[in-house]
Amino acid sequence: MIVSAHWGMEDTRKYNQDQQAAAELMAESGADLIIGTGPHVLQEAMSIETSDGRTVPVWYSLGNLYSSQLKIDELTGGVAKMHISLQDSKPVFSDIKFYPTFMSYDWPKEDQQAERIETRSNLTLTPLAHADKHIRKLFPDESVESRYQMVTETLAGNLNVTIVR
């Protein structure tokens, strides 16, 4: 059973105690995989060991995929991919990967300064590896490498995720 939970504090890359307690309850209640949404930013990926011996992956948040939000962490998200097989009638997850993405848009400087957010256009979703010019256009002091560092630090939980470049 795959469960999606809308939870967490907006713009917070660390999951909180309420999310952890809810994830543990869902896992103990039979969830085999938990995918979170809500904070608008990437959060940790962890695994929970249940009392019946299952290992339940928890993606606390995959971040935004397609949005025109304003902060760099809100524009950095991704897609999770994993192989699922059955072993003794229990799901086993392997080859767990994360494909980071960056969402960008055009926003004329004069409209930015006047905070006319409705003028954003040309929304573009790009694999993070190819997003350097998009990142630097919106955030001149940031780069693909700084974004990969954030993704790597954020996903450094116990789930053993391979971050694909």
* Burial status of residue 113 (CB atoms within 10 A of its CB: 0-12, 13-18, 19 or more): exposed
Range 114-142 average pLDDT: 96
**pLDDT recorded at residue 40:** 97
How much of the chain exceeds pLDDT 70, in percent? 100
Range 24-45 average pLDDT: 98
Q: State how many domains the chain has.
A: 1
**pLDDT recorded at residue 132:** 97
**pLDDT recorded at residue 116:** 95
Q: Letter for the amino acid at 46?
A: M
Which domain does 126 fall in, by range? 2-163
**pLDDT recorded at residue 28:** 98
Q: How far is CA 115 from the centre of its chain?
A: 27
**pLDDT recorded at residue 154:** 97
Please state, in angstroms and rounded to a whole number, the distance separating the CA atoms of residues 73 and 25. Answer: 29
**pLDDT recorded at residue 70:** 94
Range 117-140 average pLDDT: 97
* Burial status of residue 87 (CB atoms within 10 A of its CB: 0-12, 13-18, 19 or more): exposed
pLDDT tens-digit profile of 38-78? 999 999 999 999 999 999 999 999 999 999 999 999 999 99
Range 70-91 average pLDDT: 96
What DSSP assignment string belongs to 39-61?
SSSB--EEEEE-TTS-EEEEES-
